[in-house]
Chains A and B, each alone.
Chain A
Amino acid sequence: MSDGSRFFALLLVCCLLVTVSMWAVTLGTVHIPLRSVWQAIVGFDGSREHLLVMTIRLPRVLAALLAGSALAVSGAIMQAVTNNPLASPGLLGINAGASFAVVSVMTLFGAGTGDVYMWFAFAGAGGAALLVYTLGSFGLAGQSTIGLVLAGAIVATFLTALTSSVLIFDQSTLDAVRLWTAGSVSGRTMAQAAAVAPYILVGLAAALLLGRHLVTLSLGADAARSLGQNPMVWRAISVAIIILLAGSAVSLAGPIGFVGLVVPHIARLTIGVDYRWVLPFSAIGGALLVVAADTAGRMIFASQSFPVGVTIALVGAPFFLWLARNRAGGAT
């Protein structure tokens, strides 16, 4: 695929994303025309319709956009760093750490508000990722990626085991946390979306600027070093970006696994292995998938709280299976 047609395809997906997002704001139990949505944003007058837009629909769509693009991009970086198709932000312990932190807080202090969980989820995700990075980089054969990968599997298993041992004895926490665990963007407030937006935007910008270095990193440590790159430095930078992006996304929308694992694959199968293109495609594609899946969940199941984690897989997996069957190469 030439750069020209890639650019055209990216433009096409962008337009699709804008259309779907605008459509998602108008849809719901009450249909709100686009004109009113626009008026609510520029000249908020406190009417019922404007309140609905600004406090419920718009935050929800924004949360979906932010979480989707952040997860997909961090997944792409993770796969570049580890050079492993099974890698996702979850392999850095992000999901397990966030879940463990949220479950511990709920068990120790009882159910609180969403805002409190956000910070604990972020702290848990960041802490687990740092642990994985330390263990993986300074542990086994420092330079190889297999250390990072195995360290991730170890830490994630350990934290998940801790979480399950709490949940099988504490039914009320299980009841309170199970919808969060499924991943959801319902009931997110504008303040919550605004709180993580700066981190995600900075992370996205950094990731897009670093695309060139990620291409080099994905060739493996030896090739990268012979091209003049210090793989240790760039691996550390990549992990920092992943923590920023995936940690924010998980604290906003819960541990959604599918996007970070599959969207980068979809991008790679569609437009090739060049990370300078895979990253923007993942960002747009991830946002599109989560917004579309959330809207579909709201419409089809007519329920505001249907977990988006489920609909994402229902929408995305068939397409991914088709792609993998038809595009994924022969011998590897």
Chain B
Amino acid sequence: MIRLLVLLAALLAGVVTASLAFGDISLSWHALFETIIGSPEASPQNSMIVFDLRLPRVLLALLVGAALATAGTITLAIMRNPLAEPGVLGINSGAAAAVMAMIVLVQEPPVLLLPAAGFFGAAAMAVAVYLLSWRGGTSSMRIILIGIGLSSLASAATTFLSAFGEIGDVQRAMIWLAGSVYDANIVKVRLLFFWLILPLVLAWMSARELDLIRFGDNSARSLGQPVDLVRALMIVLCTLISGAAVAAAGLIGFVGLVAPHIASRLVGPSHARIFPVAALIGASLVAAADLVGRVIIAPTQLPAGIVTGLIGAPFFAYLLWGRRHVRG
């Protein structure tokens, strides 16, 4: 476990260093080192590139990745379904519908309103899914089914807008929704960090509750867990975490689904172990995706959300294929 964490942290550090060094203007290792320690020999241009442009961007990617992985771990545990990711709660479809409506219907929407619209769309959907599935208690099955129903309504609205909206608007919405950390700045990073810190800590502290609820409602209840309360709190945490991630970076899919799976394959079913490993994997995945998206067809940039699919999917497939003789 310790060895794995060190390994993952080293991987993450490597990705971060590479993200700071590579780009339209690549810095040599020596120049990067001088810039970071603030030696008088470093050129002001380099320090602007590293501290004002690349650092916020890589920090935002790390935060978003860790947040998505944590939210994914929570959903996987409370839904007890291998396909469960925060999108099951309607978070993605709600954010997509809100942002698409904002871009297509409002003339020249203020840039700051888009993240807000994304967050409120996501939160409103999660609340609606939970309330509609409440009938003197909830069940994972009912939440999943209601989530499917409400998501398909929201997706119908998104599809309608994208089929009849002005084509330039639709494309802009698609790029926003594809998920990217283009417009990172230090203010945004700080905001997201302070927003996330409390829910993330709470989620990691509730690892034991997740271990219990994963056994099934009846088992958890007979072990003394107030199942409905725990599930409600977990859904609130999940909404706060992934809603903020969506608002900050759009719909970066796949990380929330894959990071917990890889983590539980590596360290077993205990959530106290899964959380840190999943968060490190998610952070590395998003940061690496952003780096690849920036340099692969430079100067054009591919959104990180697309690159996570392009490189994350084959990587995960390789993991499945490579470990095919291990009973999972």
- Using C-beta atoms within 8 Å of the partner chain, give the interface range for chain B: 35 or more
Smallest beta-carbon distance B210→chain A, Å? 17
Q: Report yes or no: B309 in contact with A157, Cβ–Cβ below 8 A.
A: yes
Partner of A85, one of B137, B141, B171, B326: B141
Kindly report which residue of chain A lies nearest to residue B307, judged by CB atoms.
A161
Stretch at the interface among B9-17, B45-53, B162-170: B162-170
- In the complex, whether B236 has a CB less than 8 A from a CB of chain A is no
Residues of B within 8 A of A161 (CB): 306-310, 313
Question: Within A158-173, which residues are at the interface with B (CB < 8 Å)?
Answer: 158, 160-162, 164-165, 167-169, 171
- In the complex, whether A261 has a CB less than 8 A from a CB of chain B is yes
**Contact string against A for B residues 123-158, beta-carbon threshold 8 Å, 1 for contact and 0 otherwise:** 000000000110101011110111011101101100
Smallest beta-carbon distance B327→chain A, Å? 5
Known contacts A167-B174, A307-B160, A332-B217, then 4 further A-B pairs from the complex at CB < 8 Å, ordered by chain A residue? A85-B81, A150-B82, A169-B300, A332-B139
Interface hub of A135, A265, A332 (most chain B Cβ within 10 A)? A332
Residues of A within 8 A of B314 (CB): 158
Smallest beta-carbon distance B92→chain A, Å? 13
With the chains together, A139 CA to B254 CA distance in Å?
19
Kindly report which residue of chain B lies nearest to residue A303, judged by CB atoms.
B164
**Contact string against B for A residues 88-130, beta-carbon threshold 8 Å, 1 for contact and 0 otherwise:** 0001000000000000000000000000000000000000000
With the chains together, A127 CA to B308 CA distance in Å?
22
Q: Report yes or no: B156 in contact with A310, Cβ–Cβ below 8 A.
A: yes
Residues of B within 8 A of A312 (CB): 156
**Contact string against B for A residues 167-196, beta-carbon threshold 8 Å, 1 for contact and 0 otherwise:** 111010011001101100000000000000
Partner of A171, one of B156, B167, B217, B257: B167
Given known A324-B145, A330-B137, contact A317–B156 (CB-CB < 8 A): yes
Given known A149-B82, A164-B306, contact A157–B313 (CB-CB < 8 A): yes
Kindly report which residue of chain A lies nearest to residue B150, judged by CB atoms.
A321
Q: Report yes or no: A174 in contact with B152, Cβ–Cβ below 8 A.
A: no
Q: Report yes or no: A157 in contact with B254, Cβ–Cβ below 8 A.
A: yes
Complex A-B, nearest 6 residue pairs according to Cβ-Cβ distance, in ascending order: A161-B309, A313-B156, A158-B313, A324-B145, A332-B141, A331-B217
**Contact string against B for A residues 307-332, beta-carbon threshold 8 Å, 1 for contact and 0 otherwise:** 10111111011101100110011111
Q: Report yes or no: B170 in contact with A174, Cβ–Cβ below 8 A.
A: yes
Residues of A within 8 A of B133 (CB): 324-325
Partner of B141, one of A140, A141, A150, A329: A329
**Contact string against A for B residues 192-224, beta-carbon threshold 8 Å, 1 for contact and 0 otherwise:** 000000000000000000000000111000000
Question: Within A133-167, which residues are at the interface with B (CB < 8 Å)?
Answer: 135, 138-142, 144, 146-147, 149-151, 153-155, 157-158, 160-162, 164-165, 167
With the chains together, A169 CA to B302 CA distance in Å?
10
Smallest beta-carbon distance A136→chain B, Å? 8
With the chains together, A168 CA to B306 CA distance in Å?
10
- Using C-beta atoms within 8 Å of the partner chain, give the interface range for chain A: 35 or more
Partner of A317, one of B152, B303, B308: B152
With the chains together, A240 CA to B132 CA distance in Å?
37
With the chains together, A13 CA to B82 CA distance in Å?
34
26 contacts between A and B (CB under 8 A): A85-B148, A86-B88, A135-B320, A135-B321, A139-B320, A140-B320, A140-B321, A140-B328, A141-B327, A149-B83, A154-B316, A157-B253, A162-B309, A164-B178, A174-B170, A178-B170, A261-B152, A307-B159, A313-B155, A317-B149, A318-B153, A320-B148, A321-B132, A324-B142, A329-B139, A331-B139
Kindly report which residue of chain A lies nearest to residue B175, judged by CB atoms.
A168
- In the complex, whether B187 has a CB less than 8 A from a CB of chain A is no
- In the complex, whether A262 has a CB less than 8 A from a CB of chain B is yes
- In the complex, whether A39 has a CB less than 8 A from a CB of chain B is no
With the chains together, A150 CA to B313 CA distance in Å?
10
Residues of B within 8 A of A150 (CB): 82, 261, 316, 320
Smallest beta-carbon distance B18→chain A, Å? 22
**Contact string against A for B residues 84-120, beta-carbon threshold 8 Å, 1 for contact and 0 otherwise:** 1000100000000000000000000000000000000
With the chains together, A75 CA to B207 CA distance in Å?
35
Q: Report yes or no: B81 in contact with A84, Cβ–Cβ below 8 A.
A: yes
Q: Report yes or no: A141 in contact with B328, Cβ–Cβ below 8 A.
A: yes
Q: Report yes or no: B162 in contact with A178, Cβ–Cβ below 8 A.
A: yes
Q: Report yes or no: A155 in contact with B149, Cβ–Cβ below 8 A.
A: no
Residues of A within 8 A of B261 (CB): 150
Smallest beta-carbon distance A280→chain B, Å? 22
- In the complex, whether A257 has a CB less than 8 A from a CB of chain B is yes
Partner of A324, one of B137, B149, B159, B162: B149
Interface hub of B139, B153, B217 (most chain A Cβ within 10 A)? B153
Q: Report yes or no: B152 in contact with A262, Cβ–Cβ below 8 A.
A: yes
With the chains together, A262 CA to B321 CA distance in Å?
31
Given known A321-B146, A324-B145, contact A160–B139 (CB-CB < 8 A): no
Partner of B153, one of A84, A265, A314, A328: A314
Q: Report yes or no: B324 in contact with A138, Cβ–Cβ below 8 A.
A: yes
Kindly report which residue of chain B lies nearest to residue A265, judged by CB atoms.
B145
- In the complex, whether A258 has a CB less than 8 A from a CB of chain B is yes
Partner of B156, one of A86, A87, A314: A314
- In the complex, whether B317 has a CB less than 8 A from a CB of chain A is yes
Kindly report which residue of chain A lies nearest to residue B300, judged by CB atoms.
A169
- In the complex, whether B190 has a CB less than 8 A from a CB of chain A is no
Q: Report yes or no: A165 in contact with B302, Cβ–Cβ below 8 A.
A: yes
Q: Report yes or no: A160 in contact with B309, Cβ–Cβ below 8 A.
A: yes
Q: Report yes or no: A262 in contact with B148, Cβ–Cβ below 8 A.
A: yes
**Contact string against A for B residues 280-294, beta-carbon threshold 8 Å, 1 for contact and 0 otherwise:** 000000000000000
- In the complex, whether B323 has a CB less than 8 A from a CB of chain A is yes
With the chains together, A158 CA to B318 CA distance in Å?
13
Q: Report yes or no: A325 in contact with B146, Cβ–Cβ below 8 A.
A: yes
Smallest beta-carbon distance B293→chain A, Å? 9
